[in-house]
Structures are given as C-alpha cells and as structure tokens.
Amino acid sequence: MRLFLLFIYLTTALSCSGQTQSEALDIPGETASEEILIVYLSRTKNTKAVAEMIQEKVGGALVSLELETPYPEDYDAIVAQVAKENETGILPPLETEVDVSQYRTVFVGFPTWGMQLPPPMKTFLSENDLSGKMVIPFNTNAGYGIGSSFDKVEELCPESTILEGYSTRGGIERDGVLFVMEGEKEEEVRRAVDDWLNGLGI
C-alpha cells in the first residue's frame, strides 16, 4: 500500500513539475494571434507579399511603415537619399505609429537597401522599446542577400530574443524588375515561409 501511495505521489509531482516548466518557458508556438505584430517596409510590394503570407499563417496585426515625407519615386534619387541617411545616421520620421506594448512577438520585414537595414526600419526599431519580446526579421533582396541588416536588427534590439530570420529574392528595381511574388515564385516563397515558421514553432 505504501509503495502504491508513493507511486501516485511521484506521478502527480512529475506531472505538475512538467506543467510548471512548460508554463515558464517562452514558447513561440504559444503566442496568441492578438499578441503578434507584423511590421514591414515595402517599396515594390514584394516584402508586403511575404508579410501577408506570414499573417495568413500566424494571424496578428499587419502594419506598413510609412514616412512623413515619402521617398522619391525615381530610383536614382532614392538611392542617393538612402546613402546619405546611412552615412550621416539620419533617421527619417515615420508617419506610422503603433503601440508595441500589447505584443509579445514582433516580425519586422524589409528589403535590403545598400546592403543595409533600410533607414525607416532603423527609425522604427530605435523609437520603439521591444525589450523582452521575440523579434523575427524577414527580408527580400535583389540577389545580394541580407547584407548587415539582420545584424543591425540585433544591435537595435539588445534586450529582445531574436529568432532565425527568413530571406528571399525579390525584385530588382534597378533593372526595372518590380513585383515578382506571383505564379510559381509566389508558391515557392509560400512553401518556404511555411517551413520557416514551422521550424520556429510558430
């Protein structure tokens, strides 16, 4: 009888211990949809398309970063302006305002500009306290990769948990190739995004 009671006690204790550990862990998959924010910057709508794929998979609020003074439409003009902002450290003011306090998980999406994180995303990360949150970067680029952009996200979010990011090739505005997230490319990216999110446990 004593052995039976001891068995019941140990089984109950282990069961309760397991529940406590699970509750204490910050498991990405347990984040509720209303606690997810997806913030993105998109000029040719490729990053926007990826952001929408993420939202379809995990839910959450979708927010586009808009500037108080929009960038010029001319490609050479925007390249020159962004180069100056990167060189001088200027952070362009945002028109977009969002209360990040209600979110636990924040996806940040952007194209690679000049092999760096675009200045508007630097503004967002500099002006919003993401301490204690999970930050997940995603990126589109013209074929040259993420550059230093993911490293910059980590630098600007020193008190956040940075999860593995996702990157894919988008348009090449310099060559007049703009929106490419359609047809086979869209399906390819959608499958890759699903695999990435599943790998993160989200």
pLDDT of residue 30: 62
> What is the chain's mean pLDDT, rounded?
88
CB burial of residue 125 (10 Å; 0-12, 13-18, 19+): buried
Report pLDDT digits (tens) over 134-152: 999 999 999 999 999 999 9
Query: How would you label 131-167 residue by residue, b for 16+ Cβ within 10 Å and e otherwise?
Result: eebbbbbbbbbbeeebbebbebbeebbeebebbebbb
**Positions of the chain with pLDDT lower than 50, given as ranges:** 1-29
Looking at CATH, the fold of the domain delimited by 31-200 is given as: Rossmann fold (3.40.50)
pLDDT of residue 146: 98
pLDDT of residue 31: 75
pLDDT of residue 157: 98
Nearest alpha-carbon partner for 136 in 173, 99, 164: 164
3-class DSSP assignment, residue 164: coil
Residue-range domain boundaries for the chain: 31-200
Tell me the whole-structure pTM to 2 decimals. Answer: 0.85
pLDDT of residue 75: 96
**Which tokens hold the place of 195?**
């695999």
Helices (H), 59-92: 75-88
